[in-house]
């Protein structure tokens, strides 16, 4: 046998051995066609650290594989991992994750922007390699500007830690404490930032929430106050892990105080909704906006107090429900608008994938954690399917391809900012703002994490347990499989096989740890067990 043949033989044997050791149910090669198709359709304008010709090699080594009967959801899942890898960048001191592929003038060092950074951690925590997010976390407190936008860093780091048990982020506790303290001190104002008011609530500008041109404008917003509550809870957890009980208690007190202030000060009892108090007069704004659901994203609202009535609006066609997703403002408000004039990003009506990501997780929390009858698994699945299907673009030749961009027309599915920038393409304004493809492969939302941790329901825990709470409605699919999930140093497989004929591993809902069957239930249901 010559050397070349020997090397090929060795590679095959090693691959088979590795595959067998983990007892994977799905074959990665079954999904390579998605990546090949994405590459064929792509105009690779900005080659980055992991270019298209290396995309499959990276993804097959790093992502959990997923299969289900709905091929549109399956397509979007692989497409979003394919786009996420584009944004992993090498800096002189490690790695960062970007939001835009082209350089934009409002970004910080290495083209980073804090606005969606938390979602980068939620999404990227499911990668098998920790080196990218470990480096990215360090970046924000050595070279980055974590207060450029609202950024729930401690919460994001904690959610990453729950999956990986990687102690790297534990060392950032002093930085996270200092960041919170700077928010408490505040101010700058027209140069942005702001902070804590004398009444204890936090204020920020709408565009610093990544929600510019909102009807509500700036002030004491449900978003920043929810994020700061989540920050306090996460810092308390980090402090406890590090053995600093005094610091943990201090931040639990801060969290409890802010929780009370939000529920008393930002809940409009007249319309039963969390709303912004205007910077101008401190009064409630007249509009209900999608950001009013953010408190549930961090489980802030009280239970058994009827606050869940607010969620009726996601099912109302004059509320937030639309053919292409959840509108950023209620549709029956006088200032609701879908405009192709003026600023290219106006969050006074259009669907905004960033806000959709947060709202879907908030909805999952309501269904899982709050006794209520307002929303159900069917409501979650309905919005998740819309979110999945909306991530498309119709090319000029009529071909439909997967696509993620900035803002969506809720009635036509058009990517509004892209359409605007195309019209301005020959103007200086367009060039300064990144051009027509500024938002191509936009990394300002999450999707894979929502599928993994909310639809399939793998809920990361601080202790050594596995908790699965699926939101897939009964009788929706006869089978699905999420395979090769790295969780606390173990490899998990979660699959459902109604008749036992699809995968040949048994009937019902099955969970495997390192190839060993741990749980088998007759139907899709909640599961909780210890890894040991």
Q: What is the CATH number of the domain that holds 349?
A: 1.50.10.10
Number of compact structural domains in the chain: 1
- Is residue 311 one of the residues assigned to a domain? yes
What is the pLDDT, as a whole number, of residue 62?
A: 98
* Distance of alpha carbon 96 from alpha carbon 54, whole angstroms: 18
Q: What's the N-to-C CA distance of the chain in angstroms?
A: 45
pLDDT for the residue numbered 429 = 57
CA 218-220-226 angle, to 5 degrees, is 115
Encode pLDDT of 47-73 as tens digits: 889 999 999 999 999 999 999 999 999
Is the residue at 79 inside a domain?
yes
pLDDT score of 6: 38
Q: Is residue 17 one of the residues assigned to a domain? A: no
Helix 245-265 vs helix 222-241: crossing angle, to nearest 10: 160
Residue 490 belongs to a domain: no
522 within domain boundaries = no
3-state secondary structure of 293: helix
Series of mean pLDDT values for 10-residue runs along the chain (532 residues): 40 38 84 98 93 98 98 98 98 96 93 97 98 98 94 98 96 97 82 84 91 92 98 98 97 98 98 96 96 98 97 97 98 96 91 97 98 98 98 94 97 95 71 80 98 98 97 97 98 98 97 97 97 84
Is there a domain that residue 292 lies in? yes
Q: Taking the model in full, what pTM does it have?
A: 0.94
Element (H, E) at 480: strand 479-487
Residue 222 lies in a domain: yes
Q: Where are the alpha helices (DSSP H) in 26-130?
A: 32-41, 52-62, 71-86, 117-124
Distance between CA atoms of residues 363 and 79, nearest Å? 24
Which of 51, 50, 76, 74 has its CA nearest to residue 129?
Answer: 50
The closest alpha carbon to 512, from 477, 532, 483, belongs to 483
Range of the domain at 124: 24-455
494 falls within a domain: no
């Amino acid at each position: 046998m010559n050397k070349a043949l020997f090397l090929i033989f060795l590679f095959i044997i090693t691959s088979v051995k590795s595959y067998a050791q983990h007892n994977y149910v799905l074959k990665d090669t079954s999904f390579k066609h998605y990546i090949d198709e994405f590459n064929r359709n792509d105009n690779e304008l900005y080659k980055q650290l992991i270019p298209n010709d290396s995309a499959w090699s990276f993804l097959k080594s790093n992502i959990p594989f997923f299969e289900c009967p709905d091929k549109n959801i399956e397509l979007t899942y692989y497409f979003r991992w394919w786009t996420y890898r584009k944004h992993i960048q090498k800096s002189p001191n490690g790695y960062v994750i970007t939001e835009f592929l082209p350089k934009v003038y409002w970004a910080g060092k290495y083209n980073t922007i804090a606005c969606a950074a938390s979602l980068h951690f939620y999404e990227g925590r499911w990668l098998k390699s920790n080196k990218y997010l470990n480096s990215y976390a360090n970046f924000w407190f050595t070279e980055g500007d974590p207060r450029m936008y609202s950024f729930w860093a401690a919460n994001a780091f904690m959610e990453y830690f729950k999956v990986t048990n990687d102690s790297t982020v534990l060392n950032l506790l002093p930085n996270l404490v200092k960041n919170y303290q700077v928010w408490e001190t505040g101010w700058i104002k027209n140069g942005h930032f702001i902070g804590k008011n004398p009444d204890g609530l936090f204020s920020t500008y709408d565009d610093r929430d990544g929600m510019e041109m909102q009807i509500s404008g700036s002030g004491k917003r449900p978003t920043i106050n929810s994020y700061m509550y989540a920050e306090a809870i996460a810092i308390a957890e980090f402090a406890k892990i590090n053995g600093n009980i005094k610091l943990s208690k201090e931040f639990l007190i801060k969290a409890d105080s802010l929780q009370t202030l939000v529920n008393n000060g930002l809940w409009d009892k007249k319309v039963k909704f969390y709303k912004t108090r205007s910077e101008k007069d401190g009064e409630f704004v007249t509009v209900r906006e999608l950001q009013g659901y953010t408190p549930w994203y961090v489980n802030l609202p009280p239970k058994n107090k009827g606050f869940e009535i607010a969620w009726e609006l996601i099912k109302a066609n004059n509320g937030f429900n639309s053919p292409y997703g959840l509108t950023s403002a209620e549709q029956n408000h006088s200032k609701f608008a879908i405009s192709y004039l003026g600023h290219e990003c106006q969050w006074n009506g259009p669907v905004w994938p960033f806000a959709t990501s947060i709202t879907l997780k908030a909805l999952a929390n309501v269904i899982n954690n709050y006794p209520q009858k307002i929303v159900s698994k069917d409501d979650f699945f309905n919005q998740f399917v819309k979110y999945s299907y909306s991530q498309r673009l119709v090319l000029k030749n009529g071909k439909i391809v997967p696509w993620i961009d900035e803002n969506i027309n809720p009635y036509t599915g058009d990517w509004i900012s892209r359409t605007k920038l195309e019209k301005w393409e020959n103007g200086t304004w367009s060039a300064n703002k990144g051009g027509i493809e500024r938002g191509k492969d936009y990394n300002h939302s999450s999707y894979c994490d929502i599928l993994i941790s909310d639809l399939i329901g793998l809920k990361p825990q601080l202790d050594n347990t596995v908790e699965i709470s699926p939101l897939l409605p009964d009788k929706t699919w006869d089978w699905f499989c999420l395979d090769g999930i790295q969780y606390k140093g173990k490899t998990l497989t979660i699959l459902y096989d109604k008749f036992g004929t699809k995968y040949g591993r048994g009937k019902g809902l099955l969970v495997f740890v390192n190839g060993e069957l741990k749980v088998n239930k007759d139907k899709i249901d909640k599961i909780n067990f210890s890894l040991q």
